[in-house]
Homo-oligomer: A and B are copies of this chain.
Amino acid sequence: MASLDTVLKSIDDNLEGAVERLFNLLRIKSISTDPAYTDDCRKAAKYLVDDLVSIGFEARVADTTGHPMVVAHHDGPQGAPHVLFYGHYDVQPVDPENLWDEPPFEPRIRELPDGTKQMVGRGTSDDKGQLMTFVEACRAWKAETGELPCRVTIFFEGEEESGSPSLIPFLEANRDELKADFALVCDTGMWDTDTPSICTALRGLVGEEITIHAADRDLHSGAYGSAAANPIRILAKVLAGLHDENGRVTLEEFYDGVPETPDEIMEMWNGLGFSEKEFLGEIGLSNPAGESDRSVLEQIWARPTCEFNGIEGGYTGEGFKTVIPAIASSKVSFRLVGTQDPIRVREAFRAYVRSAIPGDCSVVFKEHGGSPAVHLGYDMPAMKKAAEALKEEWGRDAALTAMGGSIPVVGDFAEFLGMQSVLVGFALDDDRIHSPNEKYDLKSFHKGTRSWARILEKLAN
């Protein structure tokens, strides 16, 4: 334990430098969904490779047909496990930019009246701050002991926020290089500021974009109003028809493969002290919007859903324009659980949309990723060791939770590399990921780094 204590002390002593290294990474505008930031994505990958090389990793920027991957290797002691650590260096777009209190790519530390220190900026929590907790843990181990407790492969992706188009081809092409005993994935959150968490289930995702085409050009609503098909009206009917009055998704066979949550899991969840009122109240709401016969925790962890992530059509500028637009479009996503099949859900959605539009109109579909839900066994040895390490760092049991979001890479690791994952992360519910004023608590970053240092040591024994 002597060396672990030294490593932890090194992490404490060098926190300021760790923050500065993270800020350098945060200043790079690696927005993967927008082609305007292609060069920035590569710059972020290059920055990480240089940093990993400085620690002693053999690291490279690995090209794909999209944004590059970062792959790095470091040996470990004979007999120690080989772990693959996954994170993503790309970030979400920042719009609406005017809602940010400070420029999104100029990270800073903000101190709240109660003394809480938060790092603010796009990517602080999702996922640059999180992935750097692991890098800093490795740096401390190397600095204090000259080695790492396990053999480590690091794998950073640059397309997580844009559907990971290059991921599966890359996993297939680099199977031997990437295959490890198991993966450590850092893209999830804590239960609360004092309670660590290991995520054991993730919802899947189907992303679709639909564009309804009506007349062959924009029309004056006076001259054509009511006689000519209005694609916004059609789109509204299509979207409105996707939920029934009880909040259930209406697509045919949508609930095939959706399991009931086992009683013992529901019991554990009920013991977490989750408050629906607080959860919704914190974002200014009070009425659960999902299936009316399910609790909020079930709605977000264990039930599938359909959400509308964007909609656009006609005149949206200042003032008014009496136009009937030629097209209207929406981005729609489905969260999946159990064994729901992304392909069948996409097909059912498309069949429904086609059936719902008038014969003289048409619809164009665009696919934005698809992945099934993932369920990780509670009895996996690596998960148990991670839970022990987390308990030592945080002084309380890690909550075994599910997660409403998708981390498709976890399913891909299982399918293409035959590798299970342990999901540990230090984000908080109020981190405003994907929103303006994203933040990551300095405590998450600091104790997250310490947690990884402990987990690496625990896994080795």
Contact = CB atoms under 8 A, between A and B. Distances in A.
Interface string A290-303: 11000010011001
B305 A310 contact: no
Nearest to A233: B308
Given A222-B406, A226-B299, A35 B318 contact: yes
A71 to B, nearest CB: 24
A220 to B, nearest CB: 4
A317 B223 contact: no
A68 to B, nearest CB: 17
Interface stretch (A16-24, A252-260, A278-286, A347-355): A278-286
A111 interface: no
Contact of A321 (B33, B235, B237): B33
Interface residues of A, number: 100
Nearest to A229: B289
B93 A307 contact: no
Q: Max chain B CB contacts within 10 Å: which of A162, A218, A433, A434?
A: A434
Contacts of A330: 232
Contacts of A267: none
Interface stretch (A73-81, A149-157, A201-209, A379-387): A201-209
Contact of A220 (B214, B220, B299, B433): B433
Contacts of A406: 222
A215 B283 contact: yes
Contacts of A361: 285
17 contacts: A95-B315, A162-B320, A209-B320, A218-B435, A219-B283, A220-B434, A224-B300, A226-B299, A228-B285, A232-B310, A232-B330, A235-B236, A236-B308, A287-B358, A310-B323, A320-B333, A320-B368
